[in-house]
């Protein structure tokens, strides 16, 4: 993920981070999920990436307390 951020590939870093959170069953703050949903709504992700992120969001654990 850090390599993707260093090269300016922010969307790739986001997808890798979400994939890691799903894989390791980590709880993610609700604000992060809201931000990702906003990115999906505005269409700033490529179609393939948007589909992958959408699938990950369904399996993501969200911390509603934050």
How far does CA 24 lie from the centroid of its chain?
14
User: What integer pLDDT is reported at residue 65 of this predicted model?
Assistant: 82
Q: Phi and psi for 60 in degrees, rounded to 5?
A: -80, 140
User: What integer pLDDT is reported at residue 15 of this predicted model?
Assistant: 86
User: What integer pLDDT is reported at residue 55 of this predicted model?
Assistant: 94
Mean pLDDT per segment of 10 residues, for the chain of length 66 residues? 60 87 93 90 89 93 83
Domain interval for residue 25:
2-63
* Residue 36 contacts residue 46 (beta carbons within 8 Å): no
Residue 49: HSE in the Cβ half-sphere, 13 Å Cα cutoff: 19
């Amino acid at each position: 993920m850090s390599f993707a951020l260093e090269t300016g590939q922010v969307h790739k870093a986001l997808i890798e981070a979400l994939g890691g959170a799903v894989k390791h069953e980590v709880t993610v703050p609700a604000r992060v999920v809201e931000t990702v949903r906003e990115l999906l709504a505005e269409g700033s992700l490529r179609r393939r990436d948007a589909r992958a992120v959408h699938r990950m969001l369904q399996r993501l654990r969200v911390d509603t307390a934050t």
